[in-house]
Protein backbone atom coordinates (compact mmCIF):
# COMPACT_ATOMS: atom_id res chain seq x y z
CA UNK A 1 0.00 0.00 0.00
CA UNK A 2 1.02 3.65 0.34
CA UNK A 3 3.24 5.67 2.66
CA UNK A 4 1.29 8.55 4.20
CA UNK A 5 2.58 11.47 6.27
CA UNK A 6 0.21 13.07 8.78
CA UNK A 7 1.18 16.58 9.89
CA UNK A 8 -0.92 17.62 12.91
CA UNK A 9 -0.17 19.03 16.36
CA UNK A 10 -3.17 17.22 17.89
CA UNK A 11 -2.11 13.76 19.11
CA UNK A 12 -5.78 12.70 19.30
CA UNK A 13 -6.51 13.67 15.69
CA UNK A 14 -3.26 12.13 14.48
CA UNK A 15 -3.95 8.81 16.22
CA UNK A 16 -7.49 8.67 14.86
CA UNK A 17 -6.36 9.22 11.28
CA UNK A 18 -3.41 6.86 11.72
CA UNK A 19 -5.71 4.07 12.95
CA UNK A 20 -8.05 4.49 9.94
CA UNK A 21 -5.18 4.51 7.43
CA UNK A 22 -3.29 1.60 8.96
CA UNK A 23 -6.51 -0.45 8.86
CA UNK A 24 -6.40 0.14 5.08
CA UNK A 25 -2.86 -1.26 4.98
CA UNK A 26 -0.98 2.05 4.65
CA UNK A 27 2.31 2.88 6.39
CA UNK A 28 1.85 6.07 8.39
CA UNK A 29 4.47 8.57 9.59
CA UNK A 30 3.80 11.73 11.57
CA UNK A 31 5.06 15.25 12.18
CA UNK A 32 3.87 17.67 14.87
CA UNK A 33 4.25 21.00 13.06
CA UNK A 34 4.70 22.47 9.61
CA UNK A 35 8.49 22.73 9.78
CA UNK A 36 8.79 19.07 10.78
CA UNK A 37 6.24 18.17 8.10
CA UNK A 38 8.25 19.82 5.31
CA UNK A 39 11.46 18.13 6.53
CA UNK A 40 9.79 14.70 6.73
CA UNK A 41 8.20 15.14 3.30
CA UNK A 42 11.67 15.69 1.83
CA UNK A 43 13.14 12.78 3.80
CA UNK A 44 10.37 10.20 3.22
CA UNK A 45 8.86 11.33 -0.11
CA UNK A 46 5.50 9.88 0.97
CA UNK A 47 2.72 9.00 -1.47
CA UNK A 48 0.31 11.44 0.22
CA UNK A 49 0.28 14.02 3.03
CA UNK A 50 -2.57 14.92 5.40
CA UNK A 51 -1.93 18.49 6.62
CA UNK A 52 -3.50 20.37 9.52
CA UNK A 53 -3.51 24.19 9.26
CA UNK A 54 -3.32 25.62 12.78
CA UNK A 55 0.08 24.51 14.12
CA UNK A 56 3.10 26.09 15.83
CA UNK A 57 6.27 27.24 14.01
CA UNK A 58 4.85 26.99 10.46
CA UNK A 59 1.15 26.71 9.67
CA UNK A 60 -0.26 24.15 7.25
CA UNK A 61 -0.86 26.68 4.47
CA UNK A 62 2.83 27.68 4.55
CA UNK A 63 3.98 24.04 4.73
CA UNK A 64 1.68 23.04 1.86
CA UNK A 65 3.05 25.87 -0.28
CA UNK A 66 6.67 24.80 0.46
CA UNK A 67 5.93 21.14 -0.34
CA UNK A 68 3.96 21.81 -3.53
CA UNK A 69 6.52 24.30 -4.87
CA UNK A 70 9.64 22.20 -4.18
CA UNK A 71 10.77 20.17 -7.21
CA UNK A 72 11.49 17.14 -4.98
CA UNK A 73 8.01 17.03 -3.39
CA UNK A 74 5.62 18.83 -5.76
CA UNK A 75 4.27 15.50 -7.09
CA UNK A 76 2.96 14.52 -3.61
CA UNK A 77 -0.76 15.20 -3.12
CA UNK A 78 -1.46 17.24 0.03
CA UNK A 79 -4.90 17.03 1.67
CA UNK A 80 -5.57 19.81 4.14
CA UNK A 81 -7.54 18.46 7.12
CA UNK A 82 -8.57 21.32 9.41
CA UNK A 83 -11.35 22.90 11.43
CA UNK A 84 -11.01 26.08 9.33
CA UNK A 85 -14.23 25.74 7.37
CA UNK A 86 -14.73 29.14 5.74
CA UNK A 87 -14.96 29.29 1.94
CA UNK A 88 -11.99 31.69 1.90
CA UNK A 89 -9.89 29.16 3.88
CA UNK A 90 -10.76 26.39 1.41
CA UNK A 91 -9.93 28.61 -1.58
CA UNK A 92 -6.66 29.72 0.05
CA UNK A 93 -5.67 26.12 0.83
CA UNK A 94 -6.19 25.09 -2.77
CA UNK A 95 -4.25 28.13 -3.99
CA UNK A 96 -1.32 26.91 -1.86
CA UNK A 97 -1.35 23.68 -3.87
CA UNK A 98 -3.60 21.39 -1.81
CA UNK A 99 -5.17 18.56 -3.83
CA UNK A 100 -8.19 18.43 -1.52
CA UNK A 101 -9.56 20.02 1.66
CA UNK A 102 -11.43 18.18 4.43
CA UNK A 103 -13.11 19.76 7.44
CA UNK A 104 -12.35 18.25 10.88
CA UNK A 105 -13.54 15.96 12.11
CA UNK A 106 -13.44 14.15 8.76
CA UNK A 107 -15.45 10.96 9.02
CA UNK A 108 -13.77 7.65 8.28
CA UNK A 109 -15.54 7.09 4.95
CA UNK A 110 -14.73 10.58 3.68
CA UNK A 111 -11.08 10.26 4.69
CA UNK A 112 -10.67 6.80 3.12
CA UNK A 113 -12.40 7.83 -0.13
CA UNK A 114 -10.28 10.98 -0.48
CA UNK A 115 -7.03 9.12 0.19
CA UNK A 116 -7.87 6.27 -2.19
CA UNK A 117 -8.98 8.65 -4.95
CA UNK A 118 -5.79 10.70 -4.78
CA UNK A 119 -3.55 7.63 -4.54
CA UNK A 120 -5.21 6.08 -7.60
CA UNK A 121 -4.60 9.29 -9.58
CA UNK A 122 -0.89 9.07 -8.78
CA UNK A 123 -0.64 5.32 -9.51
pLDDT in tens, 59-70: 999 999 999 999
Q: What is the pLDDT of residues 80-116, one digit of tens each?
A: 999 999 999 999 999 999 999 999 988 899 999 999 9
pLDDT at residue 105 in the model: 87
pTM of the predicted model as reported, rounded to 2 decimal places: 0.96
Ranges of beta strands (E only) in the chain are: 3-7, 27-31, 48-51, 78-82, 100-103
Q: Which fold has domain 3-109?
A: Rossmann fold (3.40.50)
Interior angle at CA 34, CA 29 and CA 38, nearest 5: 65
Amino acid sequence: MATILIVDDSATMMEGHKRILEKQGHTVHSAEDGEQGVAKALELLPDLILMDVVMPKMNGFQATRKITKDAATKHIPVVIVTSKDQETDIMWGKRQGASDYLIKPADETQLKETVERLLSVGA
